[in-house]
Structure 1
Amino acid sequence: MKAIDLTRKPPGYVVAALVCSLGGFLFGMDTGIIGPVTVMEDFKRYVGTPSPTIHGLIVSSILIPAAISSFFAGRLADILGRSRSIATGAFIFGLGCALEAGAVHIGMFVVGRVVEGIGEGLYLGTLVVYTCEISPPRDRGRLTTAPQLLITVGLMTGFFTCYGTEKINSSFSWRLPFLLLAAYAFAFTAAAFFWLPPSPRWLSLHRRTDEAEKTWERLDVPAADREKILGQMDVSVVEGAALHNNQGSDTLSLTTSNNIEARRTAPESKKMQLLDVFSPDARPRLFLAVFLMGMQQLSGIDGVLYYAPLLFQQAGLDSNKATFLASGVSAIVIFTVTIPATLYADQWGRRITTVLGGLGMAATMFLMGGLYAGGAVDEGRGAGRWIVIVCIYLFAVIFSISWAICVKLYTAEIQPQRTRASATSMAHGSNWISNFLVALCTPALLANSSYGAYFLFGSCTLLTAIVAAVFMPETRGKSLDEIDMAFRARSPMQEWGKVKGMLSWKWRKMVLTDEVEMNHDQIA
Structure 2
Amino acid sequence: MAWGNIYLIAAIAVIGGGLFGFDISSMSAIISTPQYRCYFDQSPDRSCAGPRPDVQGGITASMPGGSWLGALVSGFLSDILGRKRAIMAGAVVWVIGSVIVSASQNIGMLIVGRIINGFSVGICSAQVPVYIAELAKPSTRGRLIGAQQWAITWGIMIMFYISYGCSFLDGPQAFRVPWALQMLPAIGLFFGMIMLPESPRWLARKDRWEDCHAVLALVHGKGDPNNPFVAREYKDIKEMVEFERQNADVTYLELLKPNMINRTHIGVFTQIWSQLTGMNVMMYYITYVFTMTGADSTSALLLSSSIQYVINVVMTVPALLFVDRWGRRPTLLVGATFMATWMFANAGLLASYGEYAGPEGVNNTPEASTRISGPPAKAVIACTYLFVASFAPTWGPVSWIYPPEIYPLRVRGKAVALSTSANWAMNFALAYFVPPAFVNITWKVYILFGVFLVAMFIHVFLMFPETANKTLEEVESIFLDPHGIKGIGTPAWKTKVNHKRILDVERHGSVAGEGEEVETKGITGGSVEERRIERQSSGERSTGDEKKI
TM over 0.5: yes
Instruction: Please name the residue that 2:230 is paired with.
Output: 226
Q: Which amino acid aligns with 2:70?
A: S
Q: Does the 8 Å CA contact 2:17/2:151 hold for their aligned counterparts? A: yes
Q: 1:217 to 1:479 in 2, by over 3 A?
A: closer
- 8 Å contact 1:232–1:416 — kept in the other structure? no
Match of 1:365 among 343, 358, 380: 343
Larger proportion of helix: 1
Q: What is the identity, as a one-letter code, of the residue corresponding to 2:382?
A: V
2:461 pairs with 1:469: yes
Q: For residue 477 of structure 2, what is the aligned residue in structure 1? A: 485
In the other structure, the counterpart of 1:374 is 352
- Cα distance change on mapping 1:303 and 1:496 into 2, 3 Å: farther
Distance 1:17 1:229, change over 3 A: farther
| Residue in structure 2 matching 1:35, options 16, 19, 28 | 28
User: 1:470–1:495: 8 Å Cα contact kept in structure 2?
Assistant: no
Alpha-carbon distance in structure 2 between the residues aligned to 1:494 and 1:391: 38
Aligned ranges for residues 254-265 of structure 1 at < 5 Å?
Answer: none
Which whole-Å CA distance do the structure 1 matches of 2:492 and 2:337 have between them? Answer: 23
Query: Partner of 1:215 in structure 2?
Result: 215
Q: CA deviation at 1:495?
A: 8.4
Name 1:314's counterpart in structure 2.
292
Displacement of 1:390 in angstroms is: 0.7
Structure 1 residues 425 and 183, CA, compared in 2 at 3 Å: closer, same or farther? same
**Structural mapping, 1:89-108, within 5 Å:** 89-108=90-109
Shift of 1:297: 0.2
Residue 453 of structure 1: CA displacement?
A: 1.3
Provide the residue aligned with 2:381 in structure 1. Answer: 389
Once the two structures are TM-superposed, the CA of residue 72 in structure 1 deviates from its matched residue by 2.1
| Runs (5+) with no aligned partner, structure 1 | 1-9, 241-265, 500-524
Say if 1:201 and 1:386 are closer, same or farther in 2 by CA, change over 3 A.
same
> Contact between 1:159 and 1:327, CA under 8 Å: does it hold in 2?
no
- Equivalent residue number for residue 13 of structure 1: 6
**TM-score, normalising length from structure 2?**
0.80
Question: What's the offset of the Cα at 1:238?
Answer: 4.6
Matched residue, 1:71: 72
Cα offset, 1:218, TM superposition? 3.2
Report what 2:309 is aligned to.
Answer: 331
Distance (Å, rounded) in 1 between the aligned partners of 2:279 and 2:177: 26
- Give the C-alpha shift of residue 190 in structure 1: 2.1
CA drift of 1:31 comes to 0.8
For 2:127 and 2:60, the matched residues in 1 are separated by: 23
Question: Aligned match of 2:444 in 443, 448, 452?
Answer: 452
CA–CA distance in structure 2, aligned partners of residues 495 and 451 of structure 1: 42
Counterpart residue identity of residue 149, structure 2: Q
- Indicate yes or no: 2:318 matched with 1:340: yes
Residues 373-452 of structure 1: pairs in structure 2 closer than 5 A: 373-376=351-354, 379-452=371-444
Return the match for 2:264 from 286, 289, 310.
286
Q: Secondary structure of the residue that 2:182 maps to in structure 1?
A: helix
Tell me, yes or no, if the aligned pair for 2:485 and 2:491 is still in contact at 8 Å: no
- When structure 1 is superposed on structure 2, of 226-235 and 415-424 the one drifting more is 226-235
> What amino acid is the match of 1:154?
G
Q: Given the superposition, is the C-alpha separation of residues 89 and 492 from structure 1 closer, same or farther in structure 2, using an over 3 Å criterion? A: farther
Q: Given that residues 282 and 416 in structure 1 are in contact (C-alpha distance below 8 angstroms), is that contact kept between their aligned partners in structure 2? A: no
Secondary structure of 1:38's aligned partner? coil
Work out the CA distance in 1 between the residues paired with 2:214 and 2:392: 37
The superposition leaves residues 56-78 of structure 1 with CA deviations (integer Å, 9 ceiling, x where unpaired) of 11111111121122112112101
- After superposing the two structures, state which structure 1 stretch, 83-92 or 402-411, moved more: 402-411
Query: Which letter does structure 2 place at the counterpart of 1:45?
Result: C
Alignment partner, residue 145 of structure 2? 144
How far apart are 1:17 and its partner, in Å? 1.6
Deviations 1:257-284 (A, max 9, x none): xxxxxxxxx24x6344343323333221
Q: Could you say if the C-alpha distance between residues 463 and 45 of structure 1 is closer, same or farther in structure 2, counting changes exceeding 3 Å?
A: same
- Alignment CA distance shift 1:419-1:229 (3 Å): farther
Q: Deviations over 1:326-367 (max 9, x none)?
A: 111111111111112211121112111111111111111111
Amino acid at match of 1:97: S
Instruction: Kindly provide the CA deviation profile for residues 293-335 of structure 1, in whole angstroms up to 9, marking residues without a partner as x.
Output: 1111011111000111111112221211111111111111111
User: Could you tell me which amino acid in structure 1 is paired with residue 83 of structure 2?
Assistant: R
Note closer, same or farther for the CA distance 1:342–1:372 as it changes in structure 2 (3 Å cut).
same
Q: Report the AA paired with residue 119 of structure 1.
A: S
Give how far 1:498 is off.
11
Structure 1 residues 416, 398: CA separation in 2 closer, same or farther (over 3 Å shift)? Answer: same
The worse-fitting range, judged by mean Cα deviation, of 63-72 and 482-491 is 482-491
Q: Distance in 2 between matches of 1:347 and 1:314?
A: 40
Tell me the CA shift for residue 443 of structure 1.
Answer: 1.0
Secondary structure at the aligned position of 2:371 is classed as helix
Query: Letter of the aligned partner of 2:85 in structure 1?
Result: R
Deviation at 1:239, TM superposition (A): 4.6
Q: More deviation in 110-119 or 228-237? A: 228-237
Q: Which amino acid in structure 1 is aligned with residue 437 of structure 2?
A: L
How high is the TM-score relative to the length of structure 1? 0.84
What percentage of aligned pairs have identical amino acids?
29
Which structure has more relative contact order (CA 8 Å, sep 6+)? It is 1
Cα distance between partner residues in 2 of 1:498 and 1:129: 23
Distance in structure 2 (CA, Å) of the matches to 1:231 and 1:391: 50
**CA RMSD of the aligned region, Å?**
2.2
1-structure distance, mates of 2:192, 2:9:
10
Aligned to 1:206: 206
Render the CA deviation track for 1:78-134: whole Å, top value 9, x for unaligned. Answer: 100001000001110121111111111111111100111111111211000000000
Query: Relative to structure 2, which stretch is displaced further, 126-135 or 435-444?
Result: 435-444
- Larger fraction in strand: 2
Q: 1:361 to 1:228 in 2, by over 3 A?
A: farther
1:426-470, Cα deviation, whole Å (9 max, x unpaired):
000000011111111111111223212111111111101110011
Task: Determine the structure 2 residue equivalent to 1:133.
Answer: 134
Q: Secondary structure at the match of 1:316?
A: coil
Letter in 1 for 2:288: L
Which range moved further: 59-68 or 481-490?
481-490
Deviation of 1:385 (Å): 0.8
Letter in 1 for 2:212: A
The answer to whether the 8 Å contact 2:259/2:487 transfers is no
2:502 paired residue number: none
- Matches of 1:278 and 1:236, distance apart in 2: 21
Please say if residues 19 and 185 of structure 2, whose CA atoms lie closer than 8 Å, have aligned partners that are also in contact.
yes
* Counterpart Cα distance in 2 of 1:71 and 1:421: 10
Q: Aligned pair in 2 of structure 1 residues 495, 140: CA closer, same or farther (>3 Å)? A: closer
Residue pair 2:150, 2:313 contacting (<8 A) in 1 also: yes
Cα distance in 2 for partners of 1:300, 1:496 equals 31
- Unaligned residue ranges in structure 2 (runs of 5+): 42-49, 356-369, 494-549
